[in-house]
Each structure stands twice: as structure tokens, then as C-alpha cells.
Chain A
């Protein structure tokens, strides 16, 4: 509650971002009630209609209502954005905490793998993972989550290295606590703040990468609408004849990324004064 009040009074732009995120979540959850049509309801006689009263954002090459498809598109972006970030945080925290806490050989081995992953051309490795996992929403979430877990783990490892040196860790070990108990009861709670701060900035990045991957044709398979996918398949081939097909999905995408960006910025400033700005 205090965080919410601080957000509204001290970070008004961040509060706007939070409001947009909330709207997008509502749209995603209630898309089937809010959308005038189902996302895959085709009507070839209505193909490529410009925006009108009947079709606010126009129609695509199969006569599907673009406004409805964009509302449904929020489902993919929001689900992927939040779920992939959750995967990245959990996996990244596991790697980071284990690497930082045990140090030595474990740390060395894990960090070489992280180094290697960070040197990879990221987008291509996400696509490779997607090919490996097969098409589907779950694969997109997993692929993006895994790829973001490595940079995430770096931050958490750094935080763990600091926590590890504290006297209460040593005291806990000396009093006979197992490694597992120390990790869960003492290390984890003390690295939660940096985890939340970095996670809040990952969501927008994940949404952007999902859209880029869909744009390249490797995202959530059709007919399920995703904003990046709409820009790729239909948007590009009808770019000049039906510009609304490239304009509206892009606007939706930009709005979502903007909202998470400013919200992430605000949360970081409020939660972690040391990491201000940048």
C-alpha cells in the first residue's frame, strides 16, 4: 500500500504505466467478452477494409476484425511477458544463488556457461530454443525465460556474494544448519530486493523479444494473434495497400512496452535508491 502511494505521489509517470498495465491485463483476461468478434472469425467479403465504425481498426486479408485481434493479442504479450519473466527469475535466482553461495568450482563452472550464453547472439539462440521446443505458447515462454535467466543470474550472484560474507550466515552454518536451509531461510530473503528490481525491468524486454521473434515467424503459431506476428505475416505483405495492418499492432506493442518501461523505472527508483536512473 505504501508502495502504491509512493508510486502515485512521487512517480506519476510510473503510475500512468501501472494504470496502462492494469488495463492491458484486464483486456487480456476478458478479451473474449470485450472483443466484438472472435479472433479467427473470417469474412472474405470484408477483407482489407480500412478502419470504419463497424471495424474500428479495419480488417485483415481474411476479413478478420483487427480491433478484436489486437485485444486477443494482449493475451499473448501479457502471458509471455509475465510468465517468461517468472521463469527467468526463478531459474536465474537458482543459478545465481547456488553459484554465489558455493563459490569455487561450482561458481567457476556455472559462470563459464553463463559467459558462453551471454556471448551468443541472443535473438538467434531464442529462435534455436524455439525450434528445439516446438511451436506453442509454452515453448515461447520457456525459450524466453531460459535465455533471460542467464543475465538475471549474474545480478543475483552478485547480491549473493555480498550476503554470503555476513556473520549471520556463518552463525547459521556453525549452529548446524544445512546448506539447503541456509540458502532458503537466510540467503534467499536477502536477495529478494534485487530480484524484484531487475525483474520489473525485464518484462518489457521480454515482450519486445517475443514480438521480434514472432515478427521473424518463430513465435506463437497462427491463427492465435500476437502483435509481433500480425506485423510480420499480414502487415508486411499488405504494407502499402492496407497500412492499418502495420500501424495498430505496432501501437499496441509500443504502448505495452512503454507502460512496463516506465513502471519498471519507477519501481526501481522507489525500491532501490542505489540504482537510481540509468
Chain B
């Protein structure tokens, strides 16, 4: 993980410096709190050679100091603390939706293979896979406002202030994102269930007189679910991408919109640290996925032990 993180840090650092446009110019024109461009550059530490800038940033990271926004002068950590809960809530809710939707419909489709529930659920999954979430989100805002005169609140209600209103506010974007993320889970669960249901041990379980429900849930699902857990790792990074779009559309002040802002402002420390943080997060989730794998698949344990 550490070497990969180092490569991530170098890559994002280099990409940021290669971008045309410069925060100093942008800020000098807009805010003007220095006498000259050179003075401003020095204030922001951008007059140093690149390797020193990188060294400073890395040294800061090791101390847990993610730097300061060039634009607002606020520490990245405090901005992160403010924005992270929004994205985390949106991401977790949509992943939860995806798992429940994908898992349940995947199993239902598999046990009714090639009959109408299966056909319907597969078509729905294909539809969710093809519908761009930002379009679905736009429609979800437009349609109720035309027909019902109702539109979702575009002002963030913190969970602490009113848990109910907060959840109502997040439900729509989370469901939209979750349906898109859940479709591959549904397809994977269905495919694996079909494979597992043909195995001898499932036939044995049926033959000894077990009711259909325990056979499916206790015997088959446990084995069928494993590849879906792997997908979940991939889905996490897709959830981050999706949340950028959803946050823009529903005007939720989360990490996604922050990243896009930081990039537009060429806010080096903010952008770099955010990307590094997200990369760490994605890697941590993938590690967690591996560990879950280990826990639910006894075969991997036997190999390791």
C-alpha cells in the first residue's frame, strides 16, 4: 500500500503542476492581497523548486498536516472534516441501497430463471445500468416540481439538526446512485446463484427435504455472494465518481464538489491531499474487501492457514 500511495502522490503532484493556469494569477486578479505576483508566490511557497515543494508536502503529510488551501487559507483537514460526512453519508447510503437491491433481486431472478420475474428484473437492471445517473437525477428534480409542485431541498440539512429531513434529503440521490451501482451486483449475484444452484451439495440439501428458502439462503447464497463482494470494492470508487455528479446536481456540499472546485482554482495542496486521501480510502476499502473474502470464504482461510 505504501509504495502505491507514494506513486499516487508523485503522480497527482506532477499532474497538478503541469496544468495550465496558476492559482497565483487567479488569486491576484480576484483577491489582490499582495503587492506583486512574486510576493504572493513566495507567501504561498510556490517560488521553491518542485522537489522542495514536494518534499514539504510529503513531510507535512507524515505529520498529519495536509496543508492549507491556497485559495481560502483554511487548513485542508478542517475543510475535509466539514465535507467528508456529506460524501460518506451519500456513499454509504447508496452502497447500502445497491447491496440490498442487487442482492435481493439477484437471488429472486436466479430462482425464477427465464420466467417473467427473472426477465423483468434483468431488464430493470439493464435499464439502471444504461440510465446516466445525472439524467435520472435531473428528472427526479424536474418531474415532481412540474406535476406536484414539489422539489427536493437544495439546502443541506445536517443530520444532527433533523435526522428525518436529512435522510429524506439524501434518499433520492442515494437511491439514484444506488440503483446504478446495484445493477452489476444484481447481475453478478444472479449469475453466481445460477451456477451454485446446480452444484451437488444444493441438490443433496434439497433431496434431504430442506425447504426451498433455507437451501437458497443458507447453502447457495453464502457461496454465490463472494464475487459480489469483490465488485463492491470496484463500486466504491465508482460511488465516489457518482457522488461528484450527485453533489453537483443536488447541491450537496461534499468532497466531490470540493474536488472539482479545487481543480478549477488550481488549489494544489487542497486537490493533492484530497486525491491522496481518496486513494487511501479506496485502497482501505479494497483491503477490507479482501478481509471480508477471507471471513466468508472458508477456502481462502484454509489456503492461508
Q: Which A residues fall within an 8 A CB radius of B?
A: 112-113, 115-125, 127-129, 131-132, 134, 204, 208, 211-212, 215-216, 228, 231, 235-236, 239-240, 243, 246-247, 249-250, 253-254, 257-258, 261-262, 276-278
16 interchain pairs, CB-CB under 8 A:
A113-B11, A119-B279, A120-B279, A121-B275, A122-B241, A128-B16, A134-B20, A211-B132, A212-B134, A216-B248, A243-B142, A247-B139, A250-B132, A250-B138, A261-B130, A278-B191
Residues of A within 8 A of B130 (CB): 204, 254, 257-258, 261
Neighbour of A112 across the interface among B4, B132, B134, CB < 8 A: B4
Neighbour of A116 across the interface among B131, B191, B244, B279, CB < 8 A: B279
**Residue contact B135 to A122, C-beta cutoff 8 Å:** no
**Residue contact A119 to B20, C-beta cutoff 8 Å:** no
For residue B8, give the distance in angstroms from its CB to the closest CB of chain A: 4
**Residue contact B142 to A240, C-beta cutoff 8 Å:** yes
**Residue contact B241 to A208, C-beta cutoff 8 Å:** no
Residues of B within 8 A of A257 (CB): 129-132
Please encode chain B, from 16 to 53, with 1 for each CB lying within 8 Å of some chain A CB and 0 for all others. 10111100000000000000000000000000000000
Neighbour of B138 across the interface among A204, A216, A246, A278, CB < 8 A: A246
**Residue contact B146 to A127, C-beta cutoff 8 Å:** no
Known contacts A246-B139, A250-B139, A278-B191: A216-B241 contact under CB 8 Å: no
Residues of A within 8 A of B263 (CB): 124, 127-128, 131
**Residue contact B142 to A131, C-beta cutoff 8 Å:** no
**Residue contact A278 to B241, C-beta cutoff 8 Å:** no
- Closest chain A residue to B15 by CB distance? A128
**Residue contact B146 to A123, C-beta cutoff 8 Å:** no
Among A120, A211, A212, chain B packs the most CB atoms within 10 A around the CB of A120
**Residue contact A262 to B126, C-beta cutoff 8 Å:** yes
Known contacts A131-B20, A254-B132: A216-B244 contact under CB 8 Å: yes
- Closest chain B residue to A262 by CB distance? B126
**Residue contact B259 to A124, C-beta cutoff 8 Å:** yes
- Closest chain B residue to A250 by CB distance? B135
Residues of B within 8 A of A122 (CB): 237-238, 240-241
4 nearest A-B pairs in the assembled complex, by CB-CB distance: A277-B191, A250-B135, A258-B130, A123-B241
Residues of A within 8 A of B134 (CB): 211-212, 215, 228, 231
B77 at the interface (CB under 8 A from A): no
For residue B67, give the distance in angstroms from its CB to the closest CB of chain A: 18
Known contacts A116-B4, A257-B130, A261-B130: A239-B135 contact under CB 8 Å: no
- Closest chain B residue to A215 by CB distance? B134
B188 at the interface (CB under 8 A from A): yes
Alpha-carbon distance A112/B259, docked complex (angstroms): 24
Residues of A within 8 A of B142 (CB): 239-240, 243, 246
Main secondary structure of the interface of B (DSSP, over half): helix
Alpha-carbon distance A125/B130, docked complex (angstroms): 23
Alpha-carbon distance A112/B146, docked complex (angstroms): 51
Residues of B within 8 A of A250 (CB): 132, 135, 138-139
**Residue contact B7 to A113, C-beta cutoff 8 Å:** yes
B226 at the interface (CB under 8 A from A): no
Alpha-carbon distance A89/B139, docked complex (angstroms): 34
Among B127, B132, B141, chain A packs the most CB atoms within 10 A around the CB of B132
Residues of A within 8 A of B283 (CB): 119
**Residue contact A120 to B19, C-beta cutoff 8 Å:** no
For residue B73, give the distance in angstroms from its CB to the closest CB of chain A: 23
Alpha-carbon distance A257/B130, docked complex (angstroms): 5
**Residue contact B132 to A124, C-beta cutoff 8 Å:** no
Residues of A within 8 A of B143 (CB): 243
- Closest chain B residue to A127 by CB distance? B263
**Residue contact B135 to A120, C-beta cutoff 8 Å:** no
**Residue contact B131 to A278, C-beta cutoff 8 Å:** no
Please encode chain B, from 161 to 182, with 1 for each CB lying within 8 Å of some chain A CB and 0 for all others. 0000000000000000000000
**Residue contact B7 to A112, C-beta cutoff 8 Å:** yes
Known contacts A119-B282, A121-B241, A124-B275: A239-B19 contact under CB 8 Å: no
Please encode chain B, from 209 to 220, with 1 for each CB lying within 8 Å of some chain A CB and 0 for all others. 000000000000
For residue B179, give the distance in angstroms from its CB to the closest CB of chain A: 13
Neighbour of A254 across the interface among B135, B191, B245, B278, CB < 8 A: B135
Alpha-carbon distance A127/B130, docked complex (angstroms): 22
Neighbour of A258 across the interface among B127, B141, B190, B245, CB < 8 A: B127
Alpha-carbon distance A194/B138, docked complex (angstroms): 37
Known contacts A239-B138, A246-B142: A132-B15 contact under CB 8 Å: yes
**Residue contact A121 to B237, C-beta cutoff 8 Å:** yes
**Residue contact A254 to B131, C-beta cutoff 8 Å:** yes
B205 at the interface (CB under 8 A from A): no
Alpha-carbon distance A236/B250, docked complex (angstroms): 11
**Residue contact B187 to A115, C-beta cutoff 8 Å:** no
Residues of B within 8 A of A261 (CB): 126, 129-130
Residues of A within 8 A of B280 (CB): 119
Residues of B within 8 A of A125 (CB): 15, 275
Alpha-carbon distance A278/B20, docked complex (angstroms): 42
Neighbour of B11 across the interface among A117, A124, A127, A132, CB < 8 A: A117
